[in-house]
Amino acid sequence: MSYEPRPENRFTFGLWTVGNIGIDPFGEAVREVLSPVQLVELLAEVGAWGVNLHDNDLVPIDASVHERDQIVSDFMKALDATGLVVPMATTNLFKDPAFRDGAFTANDPRVRALALQKTMRAIDLGVELGATTYVFWGGREGVETDSSKDPLIALARYTEAMNFLCGYVKDQDYDLRFALESKPNEPRGDIYLATTGAMLAFIGTLDHEEMVGVNPEVAHEHMAGLNFTHQVAQAWLMGKLFHIDLNDQIAGRYDQDLRFGSANPKQAFFLVKFLEDVGYEGSRHFDAHAYRTSDYEDVKAFARGCMRTYLILKEKAERWNADPEIQALLAKIAEDDGTTAAVLGPYSTERAAALKEIDFDRRVLGARGQPYEALDQLTVDLLLGTR
Amino acid sequence: MSYEPRPENRFTFGLWTVGNIGIDPFGEAVREVLSPVQLVELLAEVGAWGVNLHDNDLVPIDASVHERDQIVSDFMKALDATGLVVPMATTNLFKDPAFRDGAFTANDPRVRALALQKTMRAIDLGVELGATTYVFWGGREGVETDSSKDPLIALARYTEAMNFLCGYVKDQDYDLRFALESKPNEPRGDIYLATTGAMLAFIGTLDHEEMVGVNPEVAHEHMAGLNFTHQVAQAWLMGKLFHIDLNDQIAGRYDQDLRFGSANPKQAFFLVKFLEDVGYEGSRHFDAHAYRTSDYEDVKAFARGCMRTYLILKEKAERWNADPEIQALLAKIAEDDGTTAAVLGPYSTERAAALKEIDFDRRVLGARGQPYEALDQLTVDLLLGTR
Amino acid sequence: MSYEPRPENRFTFGLWTVGNIGIDPFGEAVREVLSPVQLVELLAEVGAWGVNLHDNDLVPIDASVHERDQIVSDFMKALDATGLVVPMATTNLFKDPAFRDGAFTANDPRVRALALQKTMRAIDLGVELGATTYVFWGGREGVETDSSKDPLIALARYTEAMNFLCGYVKDQDYDLRFALESKPNEPRGDIYLATTGAMLAFIGTLDHEEMVGVNPEVAHEHMAGLNFTHQVAQAWLMGKLFHIDLNDQIAGRYDQDLRFGSANPKQAFFLVKFLEDVGYEGSRHFDAHAYRTSDYEDVKAFARGCMRTYLILKEKAERWNADPEIQALLAKIAEDDGTTAAVLGPYSTERAAALKEIDFDRRVLGARGQPYEALDQLTVDLLLGTR
Amino acid sequence: MSYEPRPENRFTFGLWTVGNIGIDPFGEAVREVLSPVQLVELLAEVGAWGVNLHDNDLVPIDASVHERDQIVSDFMKALDATGLVVPMATTNLFKDPAFRDGAFTANDPRVRALALQKTMRAIDLGVELGATTYVFWGGREGVETDSSKDPLIALARYTEAMNFLCGYVKDQDYDLRFALESKPNEPRGDIYLATTGAMLAFIGTLDHEEMVGVNPEVAHEHMAGLNFTHQVAQAWLMGKLFHIDLNDQIAGRYDQDLRFGSANPKQAFFLVKFLEDVGYEGSRHFDAHAYRTSDYEDVKAFARGCMRTYLILKEKAERWNADPEIQALLAKIAEDDGTTAAVLGPYSTERAAALKEIDFDRRVLGARGQPYEALDQLTVDLLLGTR
């Protein structure tokens, strides 16, 4: 079997991912800056299907209108030449010092206004490039001390901003959906709406909730020690899995943005299996970057590795679904003696009454073991290629 | 100022909290079992307003109907004698071996049926005792390996169970609301609906969402490294803060259930300030237990300490709100030059157009510092009693 | 290749591991108690080489001398019958309420004396059974609040106890070495000597440090988010890797004691590779237990899985060492142009002077990338069986 | 009581702390660069006693000899003018791209040589400025994947480098001690010698261990969820607490370097109490920085807050030691009935024999509770200023 990426895999990377130059809190840039056109060529070379971007990944924040148009034109030519598409765009609301206290939730109303303006313009750019998904990562929407912002006010500002921008998209008649991305901390001490779950709840409070979903990121949920696949499953059930950020991360530490599957291939396996089993049709977007030790040859190895590992795990998921021993265990696990069929289901007075009368033998139920160690070991064997 | 608990503080404890006998994964019981009546007397002695319970905290799981009635009768007499109330009840769906693979999400349908039956009966008991809030903590609703349960099926089962039980309450015409409590892990490797945010989102998918809110617990969000006050704020904004579990916990470790405010009094301060500022009127329920080294005298010190620290922090919150220097800094932080008043607010085509045209000076905005260190240090001083 | 365990693999399990009956902080026992003899038979059936034990895993804490002798005799017959050996023993200083405030560091001197007595007797038992390694895990040696114990006094008590017990072993002329096991927390809020590093430092302060080494446990270092292989490497370099506890654990949560390699097979791979590369000759001891959902058939699957995964990873380590592409990358990484050969090495005045004069071109050095992503992806491929 | 800093408090700050300009992984500088002279003046204004520095905090990495001399001269004038001293210096071995794969443990031998050279020169500078403590923080000494470096080779390189530099200091006859600082991760995935414990053990393997101690940092141990005071206590007991880095940090997240005592004043209290109780005479060095939202006025508030909180907690420690109720509880906790006096102490054959014969009543010992909740609540009250 080939593990070469193909367009139908919908593999995308951000300009900022393969274009990451290696600045970290303790060190300077280690790789030269590549232009957006060079990055598109690099992505085409490694086999990506699409490229995503923040506004300022493409257009410098201080560019004139003329410069902007030239840059966009050059970029679109590169897209044409390579066949890459731009399915997703987003706004950089975290790098400029103006956003040091947040963007939509900043205490200074001028900053909040600037954030809206910058986002509207970036939405225009994204739509111009063909994006149909627009991501919001509110990296600065938070605090280091709760004395500095009332969370109720901050959440009200956040809501107002999202409603405003939904209004803008509808007013412009753009074919664009929003995907909100949560993160518990870093670069702020505590970021609002810290988990995918919180975002899903928040979306339910918006004026145009039908156009807003989530963009869960592996690393961000792992930072909080959460099972990423479970968060994705909830989003999927609610019809809100509009986008996904694939990378890797060890729990309980700084944001690592590691190559997909490289920190923990077993967790990655269950995620890939989920996405493929449910038939997720969106982008498989890699929001990761190469180690700071890498040169650009190694950046390519990084990008190829993200996609290759996904495809290996995809094949393993298919084999897991087809494995007779695994399926036999699953059947055993799901055994149902039928005795409760009449009392389970939607509520009715009769069903409740009948259920209340059943005389369960708790000892029998408590004595029933399940072969989950056996099943998990088969999974490990399958993962390691020894079955 | 007195820090003695009073009924209007609505301080409650679970029978299982002061009645905890100190079993842990590595050790046996260290305190003798007190009867429910003794525990009510203990709680009355320390000044609590109410007592909450799991069904089996009061009535042993194998009690006969006759035994049950006698126990309930004795317990109600103790309530009468002491004046304590039972504002909340819940079901123990985690201790019996029958629930080793979960309750509402167990793979065995008989277990799921038993869980519903046990909960209906426990609801009946809770209502009989006067409870108006019913808590669900799905401690066993999870997995150690994702090979053992499909999260979509598990969440569908969870949904069905909650809908069924809402139906039961409505059918019985009980005056009872549900409060769902999340936890990321322990005793299962990964528990479904792992955060308060996930619970809030889940509630939005239920048939009778109006009767379902959340019961956030300090320790459970701290385990995931989250800012608890932010999670509570989101629940409050959504009108879903039906109950709250107060205790303490260091991030990233086993469930500690420490005396309120004892791990980190500063985080506890912002929480108390929030609850008091918004006028939360529900129980202040302490879901904590004394150290395993404690005897029952020290258990009383533990219980008194939970309430005392709450009241100390409540007074500090009032002083924070009245502190001229702090308020002056808050005013400075909130300074608004009015230049964006016309463009912020609900979306309109005109507002968007006007906003798009503003020429912001990002350098000015980025140069504006905020006195958050000064403000936070004043808060620390106030907290430490040196202002 | 066969992944069947063989005696030369030196695979051992504790009686308490396959004999775990599934009590956790929220639930009762789910499996019946098996006798030590039954557990030896179970371990023989799955192919283990040895069995380790706490004193009270074998002899109940209240057994009479006569009962003790009968139990030991029966157990030794089972060892004879199965061929299993007892390479390691240890003391249970955590389960009995007497040790609720610690054993060697308890504030009550009678408890400290009891702990010494219990350990001397347990050492006698271990030696009688043939153990040559004696493990100390001070699970209760800690605090929930630093107001309760002065850490200097606690560490002095700890030191005195270890010196006393070393003296006892030497006085008895036992062929026995000590292996100290660290853990950051659980069941105490903070356990003293919380990491393998702290234990290694502590050993250097003991009277008979030559007979004391460490017993690092995967789960315990992972709880603190540490790279386990790095801790093992330091112990190995210092000649102190006397024993090892293999299991698995996600960072930043309760003690999981999962099947070896089941949480993160990649981390397990680097550990196995390390142990095999350096020629570690001690026991591969599995200090893990089956999921609480398991029955005893599944407990066997659990035990077999621990050993099987180790052997799979051992084979992969050999292949990694022999893989031409991987070795070529390693050679490239290690490239040395020889220009610094004269100035690196032990200190000398001349070498320092020469080194100080070299005119390094930092830009050249900073521009050199390393193919670590490529190397790590080859490792992932090898791990997943796709190379 | 005054909480104004005084020289005898030995409060120091790094140039890099108050001089931090707010770059983080997601954002640009937010504060203008102040010169070293300006920073000395700022520190003098807020009342610091000393200022510490990395070589390149003072002298740019590309400065000519002439420039260096001028800068040093200006700086020493500022020290003279303000009375500030330089008790500690260190090397920046993390910022320049040359160190992207480590310094002393880098795979490229030229980088290792450069690191030694840079450190020798920086030691010369530090000594010239009067420093008597030299700190090593090996922030880049680690890996993202264990395939890239053999930990045994890395630790051997680390050892060689430390021995070389000890040799240099002795050869130069400098009055200088080394203080090694550990950190578990960030900016590398896993940093070698990840905890203070590991560093203490490592020091014991060095050629000149008498001149090498540790520099524990609050944030770095908190990142791993460890009790910082316990790590400091072990270092103190071993005579190795040569320096200390004070700041604050929530467990299990990115390196926050918060204002001392601002994340958790209770943990800070036990630390201050420890340092004051044992009579630690070294610098109280604040390795923290102001929030990114701060301007330089707020940076001063930050610096003042670090010292003020330390002094408040110092006074509280004195009051804790003098509090009759607290001391009465401590006396009760330490109660000794004298029955074990004869059997506790250094090992002797007689003592062991006598101890083995004692008939302890475990039930009595297990029934003894300790008033740790009461004691901890008194501590909380004292901390909050309500006793």
Residues comprising chain D, all counted? 387
pLDDT of res. A1: 64
Q: How far is the C-alpha of B261 from the C-alpha of B310, rounded, in Å?
A: 8
Is B304 in Cβ contact with D377 (below 8 Å)?
A: yes
Nearest to C256 among B28, B189, B225 (CB): B189
Q: Give the residue from chain D lying closest to C379, CA to CA.
A: D147
- pLDDT tens-digit series, residues D340-376: 999 999 999 999 999 999 999 999 999 999 999 999 9
Q: What is the nearest CA distance from D75 to chain B, expressed in angstroms?
A: 28
- Locate A179 and state its tokens: 């995907």
Burial class for B201, CB neighbours closer than 10 Å (0-12, 13-18, 19+):
buried
Q: Give the contacts of A175 (CB within 8 A, at least 6 positions apart).
A: A127, A132
Cβ–Cβ under 8 Å, residues A191 and A139: yes
- pLDDT tens-digit series, residues C117-135: 999 999 999 999 999 999 9
Is D26 in Cβ contact with A23 (below 8 Å)?
A: no
Q: How far is the C-alpha of A102 from the C-alpha of B363, rounded, in Å?
A: 15
- pLDDT tens-digit series, residues A279-336: 999 999 999 999 999 999 999 999 999 999 999 999 999 999 999 999 999 999 999 9
ipTM score assigned to the predicted complex: 0.98
Cβ–Cβ under 8 Å, residues D227 and D256: no
For B90, half-sphere exposure in the C-beta direction (CA atoms, 13 angstrom radius) is 25
CA Rg value for chain B: 23
Q: How far is the C-alpha of C374 from the C-alpha of A301, rounded, in Å?
A: 5
Nearest to A100 among D25, D252, D293 (CB): D293
Nearest to C266 among A265, A301, A305 (CB): A265
Q: Is D376 on the interface with B (CB under 8 A)?
A: yes
Q: How far is the C-alpha of D362 from the C-alpha of C155, rounded, in Å?
A: 24
Q: How confident is the model at residue A231 (pLDDT cuts 50, 70, 90)?
A: very high
Q: Is A23 on the interface with D (CB under 8 A)?
A: yes
- pTM (whole model) above 0.80: yes
Q: What is the nearest CA distance from A292 to chain B, expressed in angstroms?
A: 27
Return the percent helix, strand and coil in chain A, to nearest 5: 50, 10, 40
Q: How far is the C-alpha of A244 from the C-alpha of A282, rounded, in Å?
A: 8
Beta-carbon count within 10 A of A357 CB: 9
SS3 of D259, please?
Answer: coil
Q: How far is the C-alpha of C304 from the C-alpha of B345, rounded, in Å?
A: 64
Residue C1 has pLDDT above 70, yes or no: no
Q: What is the nearest CA distance from B245 to chain D, expressed in angstroms?
A: 19
B24, B55, B57, B323: the active-site residue: B57
Q: Give the contacts of D107 (CB within 8 A, at least 6 positions apart).
A: C333, C334, C370, D101, D148, D149
Q: Is C223 on the interface with B (CB under 8 A)?
A: yes
Is D144 in Cβ contact with A291 (below 8 Å)?
A: yes
- pLDDT tens-digit series, residues C50-78: 999 999 999 999 999 999 999 999 999 99
Q: What is the nearest CA distance from D298 to chain B, expressed in angstroms?
A: 5
Q: Is residue B66 annotated as part of the catalytic site, yes or no? A: no
Using CB atoms and an 8 Å cut-off, which of residues 157-176 of chain B contact chain A?
A: 160, 163-168, 171
Q: Which residues pair with C12 in a beta bridge?
A: C50, C285
Q: How far is the C-alpha of A69 from the C-alpha of C9, rounded, in Å?
A: 67
Render each residue's pLDDT in chain D as its tens digit; 387 residues: 689 999 999 999 999 999 999 999 999 999 999 999 999 999 999 999 999 999 999 999 999 999 999 999 999 999 999 999 999 999 999 999 999 999 999 999 999 999 999 999 999 999 999 999 999 999 999 999 999 999 999 999 999 999 999 999 999 999 999 999 999 999 999 999 999 999 999 999 999 999 999 999 999 999 999 999 999 999 999 999 999 999 999 999 999 999 999 999 999 999 999 999 999 999 999 999 999 999 999 999 999 999 999 999 999 999 999 999 999 999 999 999 999 999 999 999 999 999 999 999 999 999 999 999 999 999 999 999 999
Cβ–Cβ under 8 Å, residues D90 and D53: yes
A292-304 burial, b if ≥16 CB within 10 A, otherwise e? bbbbbebbbbbbb
Using CB atoms and an 8 Å cut-off, which of residues 80-139 of chain C contact chain A?
A: none
> Where are the alpha helices (H) located in A253-368, listed in sequence order?
265-278, 296-322, 324-333, 349-357, 362-367
pLDDT of res. D1: 64
Q: What is the nearest CA distance from C48 to chain A, expressed in angstroms?
A: 17
Is B356 in Cβ contact with A237 (below 8 Å)?
A: no
All residues of chain A having their beta carbon less than 8 Å from the beta carbon of residue B250 are none
Cβ–Cβ under 8 Å, residues A214 and A220: no
Q: Is residue D57 annotated as part of the catalytic site, yes or no? A: yes
All residues of chain C having their beta carbon less than 8 Å from the beta carbon of residue B292 are 100, 187
Q: How confident is the model at residue B378 (pLDDT cuts 50, 70, 90)?
A: very high
Is D340 in Cβ contact with C164 (below 8 Å)?
A: no
Is D360 in Cβ contact with C114 (below 8 Å)?
A: yes
Is D28 in Cβ contact with A95 (below 8 Å)?
A: yes
Q: Looking at chain C, which subunits does it touch, using at least 3 CB pairs closer than 8 Å as the criterion?
A: A, B, D
| DSSP class of D83 | T
- Nearest in space to C185 (alpha carbons), one of C177, C193, C174, C176: C193
Q: How far is the C-alpha of B383 from the C-alpha of A217, rounded, in Å?
A: 37
- Nearest in space to B55 (alpha carbons), one of B89, B97, B103, B13: B89
> Where are the alpha helices (H) located in B204-295, listed in sequence order?
218-223, 228-237, 265-278
Q: Is C186 on the interface with B (CB under 8 A)?
A: yes
- Nearest in space to B144 (alpha carbons), one of A101, C164, C294: C294
Q: How far is the C-alpha of D91 from the C-alpha of D76, rounded, in Å?
A: 19
First-last CA distance in chain C = 16
Q: Give the residue from chain A lying closest to B278, CA to CA.
A: A152
- pLDDT tens-digit series, residues D155-187: 999 999 999 999 999 999 999 999 999 999 999
Q: Is B230 on the interface with A (CB under 8 A)?
A: yes
Q: How far is the C-alpha of A12 from the C-alpha of A49, rounded, in Å?
A: 6
Provide the sign of the torsion angle of the four alpha carbons D309, D313, D314, D319, taken in this order.
positive
| DSSP class of A98 | G
Catalytic residues of A: 54, 57
Q: Is D22 on the interface with A (CB under 8 A)?
A: yes
Q: Is A264 on the interface with B (CB under 8 A)?
A: no
- pLDDT tens-digit series, residues A34-84: 999 999 999 999 999 999 999 999 999 999 999 999 999 999 999 999 999
All residues of chain D having their beta carbon less than 8 Å from the beta carbon of residue C238 are 201, 204-205
pLDDT of res. B2: 86
Residue A96 has pLDDT above 70, yes or no: yes
Beta-carbon count within 10 A of B47 CB: 16
pLDDT of res. A2: 86
Q: What is the nearest CA distance from A142 to chain B, expressed in angstroms?
A: 10
Q: Looking at chain A, which subunits does it touch, using at least 3 CB pairs closer than 8 Å as the criterion?
A: B, C, D
Q: How far is the C-alpha of B246 from the C-alpha of A94, rounded, in Å?
A: 34
C353-364 burial, b if ≥16 CB within 10 A, otherwise e? eebeeeebebee
Can you say whether residue D322 is alpha, beta or left, with left for phi > 0 and alpha for psi between -120 and 50 degrees?
alpha
Q: Give the contacts of A364 (CB within 8 A, at least 6 positions apart).
A: none
- Nearest in space to B53 (alpha carbons), one of B129, B114, B117: B129
